[in-house]
């Protein structure tokens, strides 16, 4: 009898190992995804009401602020100013509404001329319901007030108030006083690009203009610059129209019709704040018979201009004086030399540290986990493919041994 032996496939399945590895990878990936979700803490309802009342007065803006509790305990200040400025206000358990006053020509309040001839004043205030800390309960409000009048004032003849000097002339056909404006442009004034936010050293042009007419001309005098919080003031042009420091501001250049005066200078600021306010006195003069005398570089520094101005004033009467204002923000640049946008530079972090945000780090962990999972699955498939048995062709007439040898069983009977 021939005994046939066949090889049996005794390899065990690897499904439990695959499931365990897959579960571990899923847990790691889930943990990385949870790390990307930045926890959001729930906050209470804001104490500061979102609706505020704004009253536009002649020389100030009054903002009325209310709270949900009916009382306010905190501070109000213009954005960008510190606690040491006079624009900073504190209230301790005060009944609402709280009234905060913003001057039109101080405390970072700026203005811009509208197309209809009016002017708009604007500022941003911060309301914090805490006397010491800046918290997420605070709110900021952008305040705007529009006026139909121009940004200048005519002084009146009064002992207790401002001063107005009237033009005296026997000609009753003289037209009414024209409007006068001051604007600060970036670069050349012909570009008509009004300067609002510049850097120290940027080229600027200050332009004083009178409405076009044939009767009056202007002479710009007594120009000064202020920081708007009462801690800094510098005079630039004296009462003769001559510059006090030509490196800060030069002499005005007048147009032929004496209705426009322009001076070019570089942006500057005070250390206390980024806002600067310019103010000039504009004296009106009658063009007839050479009544408008302007300052010139050769005359400044002598008594010639003063004598000519006094002679013109005595012949034509005391000139009307118009005060004009304008302001802008000047930022302190880290480097006055501008860097081109396409320039490349490198900065070495301390100890060669690599800084990365929490969100980007979590995303990187997720991507790395997915790549690891794919690599593990690929390795398992390759392992299974290598351990799979080869197919053996079955032949009923042959045994497991080849060649002439056979396994033969003999029986012996007695």
Residues 246-250 have a mean pLDDT of 92
Classified as helix, coil or strand, 34 is helix
Tell whether the model's pLDDT for residue 349 goes beyond 80: no
Q: What is the pLDDT of residues 11-56, one digit of tens each?
A: 444 455 555 555 655 655 565 555 545 454 445 677 888 888 999 9
Confidence of residue 141 (pLDDT cuts 50, 70, 90): very high
CB-based contact 65:97 (threshold 8 Å): yes
Tell whether the model's pLDDT for residue 237 goes beyond 90: yes
Which helix (H) or strand (E) segment is 22 a member of? helix 15-36
Confidence at residue 20, expressed as pLDDT on a 0 to 100 scale? 56
21: burial class by Cβ within 10 Å (0-12, 13-18, 19+)? middle
Which helix (H) or strand (E) segment is 382 a member of? helix 358-387
Confidence of residue 118 (pLDDT cuts 50, 70, 90): confident
- What are the respective helix, strand and coil percentages of the chain, to the nearest 5? 20, 30, 50
CB-based contact 328:197 (threshold 8 Å): yes
Query: For the chain, what is the mean pLDDT?
Result: 75
Confidence at residue 153, expressed as pLDDT on a 0 to 100 scale? 47
Tell me how far apart the alpha carbons of residues 84 and 390 are, in angstroms, rounded to a whole number. 88
Residues 6+ apart with CB under 8 A from 86: 107, 229, 230
Note if the bond before 257 is cis, omega within 30 degrees: no
Confidence at residue 301, expressed as pLDDT on a 0 to 100 scale? 62
Confidence at residue 168, expressed as pLDDT on a 0 to 100 scale? 42
Confidence at residue 156, expressed as pLDDT on a 0 to 100 scale? 36
Which helix (H) or strand (E) segment is 25 a member of? helix 15-36
272: burial class by Cβ within 10 Å (0-12, 13-18, 19+)? middle
Confidence at residue 243, expressed as pLDDT on a 0 to 100 scale? 93
Confidence at residue 30, expressed as pLDDT on a 0 to 100 scale? 60
Tell whether the model's pLDDT for residue 405 goes beyond 60: no
Residues 321-344 have a mean pLDDT of 66
- 215 φ, ψ (degrees, to nearest 5): -105, -50
Tell whether the model's pLDDT for residue 201 goes beyond 80: yes
Q: What is the pLDDT of residues 78-107, one digit of tens each?
A: 988 877 888 999 999 999 999 999 999 889
CB-based contact 333:318 (threshold 8 Å): no
* Tokens at 305, concatenated: 């201009």
Residues 144-168 have a mean pLDDT of 51
């Amino acid at each position: 009898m021939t005994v046939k032996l066949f090889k049996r496939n005794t390899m065990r399945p690897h499904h439990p190992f695959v499931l365990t590895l897959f579960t571990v990878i899923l847990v790691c990936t889930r943990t990385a995804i949870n790390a990307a979700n930045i926890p959001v803490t729930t906050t209470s309802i804001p104490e500061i009401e979102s609706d505020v009342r704004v009253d536009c007065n002649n020389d100030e803006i009054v903002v009325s602020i209310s709270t949900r509790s009916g009382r306010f305990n905190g501070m109000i200040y213009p954005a960008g100013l510190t606690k040491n400025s006079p624009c900073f206000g504190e209230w301790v358990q005060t009944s609402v509404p709280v009234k905060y006053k913003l001057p039109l020509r101080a405390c970072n309040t700026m203005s811009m001329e509208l197309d209809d001839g009016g002017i708009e004043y604007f500022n941003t205030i911060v309301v914090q319901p805490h006397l010491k800390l800046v918290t997420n309960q605070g709110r900021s409000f952008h305040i705007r007030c529009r006026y139909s009048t121009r940004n200048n004032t005519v002084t009146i003849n009064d002992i207790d108030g401002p001063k107005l000097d009237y033009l005296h002339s026997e000609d009753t056909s003289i037209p009414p006083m024209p409007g006068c404006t001051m604007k600060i442009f970036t670069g050349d004034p012909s570009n008509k690009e009004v300067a609002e936010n510049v850097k120290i050293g940027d080229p600027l042009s200050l332009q004083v203009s009178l409405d076009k007419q044939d009767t009056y001309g202007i002479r710009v005098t007594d120009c000064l610059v202020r920081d708007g919080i009462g801690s800094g003031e510098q005079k630039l042009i004296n009462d003769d129209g001559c510059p006090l420091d030509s490196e800060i501001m030069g002499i005005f250049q007048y147009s032929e019709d004496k209705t426009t005066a322009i001076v070019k200078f570089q942006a500057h600021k005070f250390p206390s704040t980024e806002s600067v306010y310019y103010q000039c006195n504009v004296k009106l003069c009658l063009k007839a018979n050479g009544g408008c005398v302007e300052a010139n570089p050769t005359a400044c520094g002598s008594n010639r201009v003063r004598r000519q101005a006094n002679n013109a004033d005595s012949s034509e009467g005391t000139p009307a004086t118009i005060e004009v204002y304008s302001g802008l923000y000047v930022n302190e640049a880290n480097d006055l030399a501008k860097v081109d946008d396409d320039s490349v530079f490198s900065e070495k972090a301390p100890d060669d540290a690599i800084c990365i945000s929490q969100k980007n780090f979590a995303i990187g962990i997720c991507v790395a986990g997915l790549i690891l999972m794919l690599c593990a699955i690929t390795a398992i498939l390759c392992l299974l493919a290598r351990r799979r048995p080869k197919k053996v062709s079955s032949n009923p007439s042959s045994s497991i041994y080849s060649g002439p040898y056979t396994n033969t069983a003999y029986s012996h009977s007695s």
